[in-house]
Structures are given as C-alpha cells and as structure tokens.
Structure 1
Amino acid sequence: MPPPRPQKAPHSAQAGRLWTQVDRKVTDEAVQLPVANVRQVAFTSARLGNYQTTPGFGPLVSRMWVQ
C-alpha cells in the first residue's frame, strides 16, 4: 500500500501570495548592519622590519624580518 499523499489546502494559492507579500515587506524594511570591521591594530617591535598586512589575510609573515 503506497503512503498517503499530502493534500493541499483549498486556499494554498492565496496563502502563498500573502506569504510572498509578507516576505517582501519584511525584507524591504530590514535593517542592514555591518558584519565585519576591517580595521586592524598591530603592535610590532622595533626589531621587526618590512611589516606588511592585507585586509583579507592579515600580516604577511613571509615578508617580515627580525633583527
């Protein structure tokens, strides 16, 4: 015996349209917040030379030298 198939509610098309309207209103009125802070602070020694950094990878260790 096959499992029973789910039945759609008689007003499912109307409900889908209403949920689409609700989703658009909520999305359009949503607040946008920054999710990242690109500022970086680095404390270095006077013995460190050729310090370079990038926003994506941070300090480039392979470029540094230490006395």
Structure 2
Amino acid sequence: MLPVSFDEKYENDPNRPTLFLQYMGATEADTQAILRASRDRLLVSNDGRWPAYFQNLLHEGHNRDRLAKFTG
C-alpha cells in the first residue's frame, strides 16, 4: 500500500492551490475529509502503484533505464 498524506497547513488552507480536481469535495469540509483520509481510494493504492495523480511523474521501467544510461 502506498499512502499519500498532506501537510496540515495545506489541508486547513481554504485557498490552497488545487493539486487534483478529484481531491476537491462539494464543500470545504468534504475536501478536508478527502485530504485527511488515510484510506481514501484516491490517496491510497493497494496494487503497488502510486495513486493516479502521482503515476508517471517520474520515469519508470524502460524510460528510467534509458535516461540513466544517458545521464550516468
């Protein structure tokens, strides 16, 4: 399981920058509940992969190997 957590200042800031629209609830209270949920399906992955927002931010597999070869 790969959990994601947020800094408390970010969770409590109603003017926080939007990271991912799916992390926004219908109300501010709903949004804070999503950001604080330790087991929300949007923030936790049980298949060994990062949650959807975080996937592909870093190179993986063949692309990671290829990049390492050219920068190493």
Shared fold (TM-score greater than 0.5)? no
The structure with the largest strand share of the pair is 1
Q: Into which bin does the TM-score normalised by the smaller protein fall? A: under 0.3
TM-score, normalization by structure 2: 0.24
TM-score, normalization by structure 1: 0.25
